Amino acid sequence: SAGAMAAVPDVEIDPEGNFKYLLVRLQRPGGAEQRHIVRGTKAAEFHNHIFEKLNPEMEKLGYECTCLGGGKIDHNSKDKKIRVFGLSTGYGKADHSVTVEILKKVYTDYEITWSNDKK
């Protein structure tokens, strides 16, 4: 149901710091309905750690996850700034412009920027 998909948060990222993130597409198997979510945490040493945690959670809800790439997020909650940059060695670079649009839905009063810089 659309309700279940809507119940999955658009964004789950750490409240502060510099960490890896993934852009992930959720889709019902065989269904047209899909959406993109952003997940990032300092707890993940590698990008695949994020996916390995997320994928089983989403499968339980009946979604297929496709990783669309990754990068890094620098989250400065004090200054209300988020910077999206870098890439994932394993998954490639996410479309950071898409990530920024998703972040803006949640962090409405933030300045959110992206670049292809590595650092």
| Binding site residue list | 20
Q: Helices in 26-95 by DSSP H: which ranges?
A: 47-60
Binding-site residue numbers for substrate are 20
The answer to whether residue 36 is catalytic is: no
Of the residues 47, 49, 75, 96, only one is catalytic, namely: 47
What span, in angstroms and rounded, lies between the C-alpha atoms of 101 and 95?
10
Beta-ladder partners of 21:
40, 71
Q: Are 53 and 67 in contact (CB under 8 A)?
A: no
Angle 86-44-79 (CA atoms, 0-180°, nearest 5)?
60
Polymer length in residues for the chain: 119
Residue positions annotated with a catalytic role: 47
